[in-house]
Structure 1
Amino acid sequence: MEEFISGIQYGFEWETSRYTERKVHYGGQPVVYYQFTTDAAERLVRVVPDGCVDLLFCCDPVYPSASVCGTVLQGKEHYFLPHTTYFGVRLSARLSLLLPNLPLKEVIDVQIPFEDSLANYKDMGAIIAERPGFIERITCFEKYAMPILAGDARSIPMIDYCVTAMQRSNGGVTIRDLAQDTGYSDRYIRTKFEQSLGISPKLYNRIIRFQRALGGITRGESSLSDVAMEGGYFDQSHFMKEFKSFSQLTPIQLRNHRKSSS
């Protein structure tokens, strides 16, 4: 089964130019590197909830910058500079917890400049922008940010277990199930989860189900009813309502958007 934690952002791929990506695993955790260029007429790009944290680098040669972008909570459009190349690093939920001195609840639904969030890496925006291409930027990021990619000193075993169980169950495991498995109370799990990831376990489960369904639609391999069932939705009206809230589009509109962008 494809790992949820890589996240899917169809707006980056379909609403920009020269999109490319590469997935690399570090200590069993996937990181998605990607790059795209904006057009003059496409400054607003759709983003959707994915439960991940993105490190986004604006590679403008005159005004380079870098931001930490937490997951959004519903579909929206973000502004990007026209005629500009962006390089991104999408961290899994577990790797996101290793960002130094940065509680994830502070970046939910917002973008924060590196100088305000990752002070030790404040010069990385300029360094990344100077590299000539996608592969060179990946190599550069690995060189300077390996503590983020490889560290596990601050991981919390209980949270790791819950996140993994929720992903493997396709967002179907309940807090009560997790409480029985771990021996902790429902309330303790909910509190620690929100403190660690910045969102509730229930919302994280919903995002997992949405991302599973989104993967089925973007691959275009199944009917929408099959996509809903595979995503853990057993009520079509609930599937349609939740999908539109998270993506700004209905499943049919998204499938048509995919075809028009091919």
Structure 2
Amino acid sequence: MMEELVSGIQYGFEWETTGYIERKIHYGGQPVIYYQFKTDASGRMIHVVPDGCVDLLFCCHPGKPSARVCGTVLQGKALYFESDTIYFGVRLSARLSLLLPNLPLKEVIEIQVPFEDSLSKYKNTGAIIAELQGFSERIRGFEKLCMPILSGDVRSIRMIDYCLTSMQRSNGSVTIRELAEDTGYSERYIRTKFEQSLGISPKLYNRIIRFQRSLGSIVRGASSLTDVAMEGGYFDQSHFMKEFKSFSQHTPIQLRKLPKPSSPFL
């Protein structure tokens, strides 16, 4: 099985907090991004963008630990986080997100659901993770507590898995008609199953793939926005700018000008 290609970039977590750190680990060929950051003393709104992934987010506040399942947003927005608090997160690939037990992804699109309401089997995980000290220890703790989440069998979603692979390999340019020709299923069936599984349409997922690829190029310092637009499969600069601002709340030029912290993790 090929590796998930969508990177799940969330620049707000890295640029608008203190000492962001992350680590990618593969489980059965599927990447999981672990990350951790600390909010400032006043608390703040942090920008999030569409990525097609599900995040398991742990608030490690000593007095009020919590754990939430966070579905992808569909456009750029800002969310409030507790002040002076460490957050530990686990970003699942789209494939692993589909295998979360008894949790249809369409029920968490653009919302955050407490673990006890959505993953009741793991309802005590938040308190345990909050008591652990250090990024690496929290990763080990999550692996110990939640390995069934990380080791799901993607064969149970074979058709959707094929569509995800094709869409990611094509940089979001493959059409539903092409997927129907490749799989032997009708366009209507593929569209219905995709929306039932991920909670969004194939067309929107393709758009998110293109946005995330372009976002990655800009975050890595690509010099030419024209090249970024072309490589992202956009029709023209106007289309690129409109789409990018819809998904990020910033134009590419504005995004480049945002301040980036340099302080080490505390």
Structure-2-length-normalised TM-score: 0.95
Q: CA deviation at 1:155?
A: 2.8
Match of 2:11 in 1: 10
Counterparts of 1:62 and 1:17, CA distance in 2: 20
Match of 1:171 in 2: 172
Q: CA deviation at 1:43?
A: 1.1
Preserved CA contact (<8 Å) 1:6 1:91 = no
Counterparts of 1:261 and 1:19, CA distance in 2: 9
Query: Aligned AA for 1:206?
Result: R
Query: Aligned AA for 1:235?
Result: D
Counterparts of 2:42 and 2:242, CA distance in 1: 30
1:30 and 2:31 aligned:
yes
Q: CA deviation at 1:256?
A: 1.1
Query: Aligned AA for 1:136?
Result: E
Q: CA deviation at 1:42?
A: 4.8
Preserved CA contact (<8 Å) 2:18 2:261 = no
- Look up the SS of the partner of 1:5 in the other structure: coil
Query: Aligned AA for 2:57?
Result: L
Counterparts of 1:3 and 1:178, CA distance in 2: 18
Cα RMSD of the aligned pairs, angstroms, is 1.4
Q: Which deviations, in whole Å up to 9, do the C-alpha atoms of 1:22-80 show, x marking residues without a partner?
A: 00011111000000000024510000000000000000011000000000000000000
1:204 and 2:205 aligned:
yes
1:3–1:156 Cα change, 3 Å: closer
Greater relative CO, 1 or 2 (CA 8 Å, sep 6+): 2
Aligned length: 260
Q: Which deviations, in whole Å up to 9, do the C-alpha atoms of 1:98-148 show, x marking residues without a partner?
A: 110000000000000001000000000000001001000000000111111
Q: How does 1:110-121 map to 2 (within 5 A)?
A: 110-121=111-122
Match of 2:230 in 1: 229
Match of 1:215 in 2: 216
Moved beyond 6 Å, runs of 4+: none
Q: CA deviation at 1:86?
A: 0.1
More displaced, 228-237 or 21-30?
228-237
Counterparts of 2:4 and 2:171, CA distance in 1: 10
Counterparts of 2:14 and 2:78, CA distance in 1: 14
Preserved CA contact (<8 Å) 1:4 1:211 = no
Counterparts of 1:111 and 1:3, CA distance in 2: 23
Counterparts of 2:43 and 2:244, CA distance in 1: 24
- Look up the SS of the partner of 1:77 in the other structure: strand
Query: Aligned AA for 1:187?
Result: R
Match of 2:244 in 1: 243
Q: How does 1:1-262 map to 2 (within 5 A)?
A: 4-152=5-153, 155-257=156-258, 261=261
